[in-house]
Amino acid sequence: MSTTPLLEVKNLVVEFPTRRGTLRALDHVSFAIAPGEILGVVGESGAGKSLTGAAIIGLLEPPGRIAGGEIRLQGQRIDGLGADAMRRIRGKRIGAIFQDPLTSLNPLFTVGQQLVETIRAHLPLSEREARERAIRLLADTGIPAPEARFGQYPHQFSGGMRQRVVIALALAAEPELIVADEPTTALDVSIQAQIIALLRRLAREHGTAVMLVTHDMGVIAETCDRVAVLYAGRVAEIGPVAEVIHRPSHPYTRGLMGSIPAMDAEGIYRDELLQIDGAMPRLNAMPTGCAFHPRCPQANERCTRERPELLAAGATRAACWLVDTQAPA
């Protein structure tokens, strides 16, 4: 796996102007994804996970806007591109998989027509070649009898099969990057496992970089190489998935990990589940200092005054003053 980033997000700021002032939903978010790497993005609802993905693929809902920072795809800035230029990149170089496949599929056209249209829009293929590629994509994503399914409409597919069609659409033009926003949430466990295996195979065999947005730490553990934990629009911790899960440095990450049921070999839950008291702050009532400090049992006076940047914390980096080795004793 290459270590040169395919996607670089640097100090990304997303704001929403309102009558009562401007709300900052993403606040200097930074991370990178290398070719063939799967980066998980996890956090509570409202942390900014889906918003980060939407900003990368150029689908921010108005009046949301990118107010600062950079998004680079193989070194090329894409955050300031016009709608037409971004549409070409979104189809050809960036594939998108959304939580609800019905929002990505047109009910009036067969899945084959939609695949062929997408393929021919971005690749110099004839109708016959595009049809062959579409059938091959349906087979690759695990859809049985792809030749017969090619001529069927979205309503004739189950939820899991529709999601596979959406993945086939995302792969149609051989993208370098896939942004997958909760791609397994609505699926049963057996289908989830198949989708996860498919994403891993894409990364391994084709060098595709994947940004996987989810709230499910089980999916993160099974799928990802690294994970970024978001809280209140900022990266709280980022690092190798095994380190973040088993040796988290940020108190918020520890709270997230403590809320996951853990079973022993006999299938019996081993420990009492932890909970994080309180709720994530509203955008119009962000606390000073570290945004997590009102909920943090270890917060000190510095946490209420100064907002920490990402600091080295063993194998990970955490935005927490408790890991600051330069702090006075």
The per-residue pLDDT for range 55-98, each reduced to its tens digit, is: 999 999 899 999 999 999 999 999 989 999 998 899 899 999 98
Residue 120 pLDDT greater than 90, yes or no: yes
Q: Which amino acid makes up residue 167?
A: I
| Long-range contacts of 48-51, Cβ-Cβ distance < 8 Å, separation of 24 or more | 48/14, 48/230, 48/232, 48/233, 48/234, 49/181, 49/213, 49/214, 49/215, 49/230, 50/181, 50/182, 50/213, 51/14, 51/25, 51/26, 51/233
204-246 pLDDT, tens digit per residue, is 988 999 999 998 888 898 899 999 999 999 999 999 999 999 9
Q: Is 298 helix (H, G, I), strand (E, B) or coil?
A: coil
- 326 falls in which pLDDT band (50, 70, 90)? low
Q: Which amino acid makes up residue 27?
A: D
- 307 falls in which pLDDT band (50, 70, 90)? very high
Phi, psi of 119 (to 5 degrees): -65, -45
Residue 187 pLDDT greater than 90, yes or no: no
List C-alpha distances in Å: 183 to 38, 93, 196, 198, 299: 14, 19, 9, 12, 35
Tokens of 313: 């914390």
Nearest C-alpha neighbor of 210 from the set 238, 175, 162: 175
- 109 falls in which pLDDT band (50, 70, 90)? very high
User: What gap in Å lies between CA 74 and CA 35, rounded to an integer?
Assistant: 10
Phi, psi of 262 (to 5 degrees): -120, 125
Residue 53 pLDDT greater than 90, yes or no: yes
User: What gap in Å lies between CA 321 and CA 298, rounded to an integer?
Assistant: 10
7-45 pLDDT, tens digit per residue, is 999 999 999 999 989 999 999 999 999 999 999 999 988
pLDDT given for residue 64 in this prediction: 94
DSSP 114: H
User: What gap in Å lies between CA 198 and CA 184, rounded to an integer?
Assistant: 12
pLDDT given for residue 266 in this prediction: 59
Nearest C-alpha neighbor of 166 from the set 147, 152, 180: 180
155-165 pLDDT, tens digit per residue, is 999 888 898 89
Tokens of 259: 């809320």
E strands, the chain, are 7-18, 21-33, 38-42, 65-73, 76-77, 94-97, 177-181, 209-213, 226-231, 234-240, 311-313, 316-318
List C-alpha distances in Å: 223 to 142, 238, 281: 18, 16, 30
User: What gap in Å lies between CA 198 and CA 66, rounded to an integer?
Assistant: 32
